[in-house]
Structure 1
Amino acid sequence: MTAVLALVVAVAALTAHTVVNATRWLRRPGAGPTEVTEAVAVLLPLRDEAARVAPCLRALLAQRGVPDLRIVVLDDGSTDGTADVVRAVAGDDPRLTLLTGVAPPPGWLGKPHACWQLANRTDPAPTVLAFVDADVVLTPYAVAAAVTELRAASAALLSPYPRIVVRTAADRLVQPLLQWLWLTFLPLRAMERSPRPSLAAAGGQFLVVDRAGYLRAGGHAAVADKVLEDIELARAVKRSGGRIALADGSRLASCRMYENWPQLRDGYAKSLWASFGHPVAAAVVVTLLLLLYTAPPLVAVGALAAGTPAVAGAAFVAWLLGAAGRVVTARATGGRAWPDALAHPVSITVLGWLTLRSYHLRKRRRLTWRGRAVS
């Protein structure tokens, strides 16, 4: 019983931290009309995105509140006609420039190299760069609102995390864990105030940076070989003396990251090993997550079968507390709360399997993404 009560206390403390982060420290830029006078370049790297880039481009061309806006698109070796789709959607809009990328040199991964090419082809030089992925659809004032929040935070880098669109059972199990993990385990106020690079989080789907601070940090050249280039860029900004900020961008942008289970599975496989670092660290973290969030319903069932209702009740409370953390996260980030939160133990189990698979494939040098080796 003592162990189960300790479990209840631990989960309760983590859920309380989620509540504090979500209600007090999480930045929430508004989506209403606003205007900025700075020159802003929106940078869009594309590789075989013909099937889904059109909504993203239309949303970029419909941006308001940024009179001096440029959109620079880089076709990174696509073989599916991505460039033709860009031309068809953009028409003769003078704000959009389409570039043809070159293959990454030795020591570079594909996305950092594409972003670095984009950052160096913005002429005349803007004061703000906004990196956007092809699966992101912005609301009309999203760029203006994000730039306003960047300046309000006195930051060199702002990550307004989009609302993640979920449609399949796999989506609903796995994707909400992204926001839940940083709201539960990352002290947001300390992250903004502390100069420690280890306290950093960012999402590359929508990333807004002060150009001077970005270059001072070395830009994407400083993270050329990093799978999690977004988080590593945030750390580079901190190392250079800049501040970073994380925001709920659910009112500014939506993102459908993966279309099906194989894409989701392989997308996480390419990056989870980099999230945890050493396999021992991954094993410790996954084990703790399983104990805290997957064990309670199993203990509850086992305790009922063994005729110890007090233990079963305590374990059931731990399960509900874990589900409450998911509900708080969903409401804070525009996600779906019920009944998905009740499946949180299953979500953690799937995350553990995906992590194991990521390390397994990396050890065998079988990690690829978009036809390129990842590591």
Structure 2
Amino acid sequence: MVSSPVGVAAAYFELGQVIVLALLTGHAVVNAALLRRPARRPATVHALVSVLLPVRDEAHRVRPCLQALLAQESVPRLEILVLDDGSTDGTAEAVRALADDRVRLLTGATPPPGWLGKPYACHQLAAAARGDVLVFVDADVVLGPTAVAAAVGLLDGFDLVCPYPRMVAASPGERLVQPLLQWLWLTFLPLRAMERSARPSLAAAGGQFLVARRAGYERAGGHAAVRGAVLEDVELARAVKRSGGRIALADGSEIASCRMYTSWSGVRDGYAKSLWASLGSPAGAAAVVSMFLLLYVAPVALIPVAPWAGLAGYLLGVLGRIATARATGGRALPDALAHPASIVIFGYLTARSFRLHRKGSLSWKGRRVDTLTP
């Protein structure tokens, strides 16, 4: 029997799809093996280290964050600067109740024209800091006792390093969406090439936990260089590269944890404010989402008509999720089995982000997310 041209084309498409998925999953496995990790027993840091914590309406979670900062070991010269960025929920009072002589509580000023809130808060903190090393931490991060010393140790040869925390996900919405963060950069970003390359476009970072040499930070222009950026962490990494510095990502799951959102509405609104900026133009976003759907959702639909190709494609996607979860302290199973559903939700969140951006109705913690820069 002679196969029809359509059948031959479909067979080649299915084979090509499986090959691409195998390459991407293989890349994630290699990246996971090469991922930088902090020392389990870091050396004592003798430099003055400034930990910088911007807070805005964080009374419900600043306590464990600050308690962990006060319990840091192997950093004898440590200062902790907390900037209260217009909180109305008693955040400043919660900080004062815990603070000792290592803590300075600053009152943030209103962002000037052209600035978004987070970059301006970090800018004020850096200006007040005295340390040679700057450690930026978000209030939803809880550090282990040697986290600061271990993070500073990762700076050897680099100007800015992001030790990505373990993402804590409890509710179904969190478990479907949050693991995609690590999966995305381990699957699609060549980590060691990023470290060697001088191209600013080849950069990634997470603002929850960032450590920087002050000299490199200032040479890059600091947060003033990214004053209007929604993704100020990624743009800061690019600014460091443009100024001749080097950046790196590391697995910080053993030294830090972070629960970014605690409900589906938090996940939905949190990604709405940033996905439009991370994916660039609507056309580019549509291309990315379409590719993801084709690679990771279409195989499930293929299983009834092409069992070997559909099942192989589905399992390769699941394997990639398992590899990235195990490398970054996440929950591998059963969550990885729902990877196609995660991709569909990612597509929905992306479309929603662009729709709200186009309407000019994006806000976060009571402030407009202005569209100053992508």
CA positional deviation for 1:50: 0.3
Partner of 1:39: 48
Partner of 1:325: 320
User: Per the alignment, in what secondary structure is the counterpart of residue 96 of structure 2?
Assistant: helix
Are the counterparts in 2 of residues 34 and 141 from structure 1 also a CA contact under 8 Å? Answer: no
Partner of 1:198: 201
Alpha-carbon distance between aligned partners in 2 of 1:156 and 1:204, rounded to the nearest angstrom? 15
Relative to the length of structure 2, the TM-score reads 0.95
- Structure 2 unaligned residues grouped into runs of 5+: 1-10
CA positional deviation for 1:248: 0.2
CA positional deviation for 1:35: 1.1
User: Per the alignment, in what secondary structure is the counterpart of residue 25 of structure 2?
Assistant: helix
Cα displacement string for residues 275-312 of structure 1 (whole angstroms, at most 9, x for unaligned residues)? 011110000011000000011011113x1xxxxxxx22
AA paired with 1:63?
A: Q
Task: After TM superposition, list the pairs within 5 Å mapping 1:1-375 onto structure 2.
Answer: 1-23=11-33, 25-90=34-99, 93-122=100-129, 125-151=130-156, 154-301=157-304, 303=305, 311-375=306-370
Are the counterparts in 2 of residues 270 and 367 from structure 1 also a CA contact under 8 Å? Answer: yes
CA positional deviation for 1:217: 0.2
* RMSD, matched Cα: 0.7
The percentage of aligned residue pairs carrying the same residue is 65
Alpha-carbon distance between aligned partners in 1 of 2:165 and 2:155, rounded to the nearest angstrom? 16
AA paired with 1:2?
A: Y
Are the counterparts in 1 of residues 160 and 247 from structure 2 also a CA contact under 8 Å? Answer: yes
Are the counterparts in 1 of residues 81 and 105 from structure 2 also a CA contact under 8 Å? Answer: yes
Q: Any runs of at least 4 consecutive aligned residues in structure 1 with deviations exceeding 2 A, and if so which?
A: 30-34
Are the counterparts in 1 of residues 36 and 249 from structure 2 also a CA contact under 8 Å? Answer: yes
Alpha-carbon distance between aligned partners in 2 of 1:179 and 1:33, rounded to the nearest angstrom? 24
CA positional deviation for 1:186: 0.2
Partner of 1:308: none
CA positional deviation for 1:89: 1.6
* Aligned length, in residue pairs: 360
Alpha-carbon distance between aligned partners in 2 of 1:30 and 1:255, rounded to the nearest angstrom? 20
Are the counterparts in 2 of residues 31 and 142 from structure 1 also a CA contact under 8 Å? Answer: no
CA positional deviation for 1:314: 1.4
User: Per the alignment, in what secondary structure is the counterpart of residue 55 of structure 1?
Assistant: helix
Alpha-carbon distance between aligned partners in 2 of 1:45 and 1:373, rounded to the nearest angstrom? 18
User: Per the alignment, in what secondary structure is the counterpart of residue 209 of structure 1?
Assistant: strand
CA positional deviation for 1:33: 4.9
Cα displacement string for residues 94-149 of structure 1 (whole angstroms, at most 9, x for unaligned residues)? 10000000010010000000000000011xx2110000000000000000000011
Alpha-carbon distance between aligned partners in 1 of 2:224 and 2:183, rounded to the nearest angstrom? 30
Are the counterparts in 2 of residues 31 and 139 from structure 1 also a CA contact under 8 Å? Answer: no
Are the counterparts in 1 of residues 39 and 153 from structure 2 also a CA contact under 8 Å? Answer: no
AA paired with 1:108?
A: W
Relative to the length of structure 1, the TM-score reads 0.95
AA paired with 2:211?
A: V
Are the counterparts in 1 of residues 17 and 313 from structure 2 also a CA contact under 8 Å? Answer: yes
AA paired with 2:116?
A: L
CA positional deviation for 1:2: 1.6
CA positional deviation for 1:177: 0.2
User: Per the alignment, in what secondary structure is the counterpart of residue 170 of structure 1?
Assistant: helix
CA positional deviation for 1:31: 3.5
AA paired with 1:102?
A: A
CA positional deviation for 1:34: 3.0
Alpha-carbon distance between aligned partners in 1 of 2:336 and 2:308, rounded to the nearest angstrom? 19
